[in-house]
Structure 1
Amino acid sequence: QDLGVMASGQVVGVLDDLPSCHELIERIMAEAEAVLSRLDRR
């Protein structure tokens, strides 16, 4: 039998973006590059 529990609460109502894995990694990399660039200027 397939039995399991999937906890989903109020946060489900605030999700408005579900990017692909590729797009998610691209966003993370872009954000990391921006942070590193700002740190480099200090």
Structure 2
Amino acid sequence: MTAPAQTVTPAAEAGTGGVLFWVALPYVCFAVFVLGPVRRYRYDK
């Protein structure tokens, strides 16, 4: 008797790195995109 084959989704295969890349990184990029010009305008007039 053999065990049934398990399907591994790409998200489960990616692990923590996948979560950081697909969840946290877009928020970091958006924050830099919005806050970067604000900081430059305030301090580098």
TM-score range, shorter chain: 0.3 to 0.5
TM-score, normalised with respect to structure 1: 0.40
Q: Which has the higher contact order (CA 8 A, sep 6+)?
A: 2
TM-score, normalised with respect to structure 2: 0.39
Of the two, which has the highest radius of gyration? Answer: 2
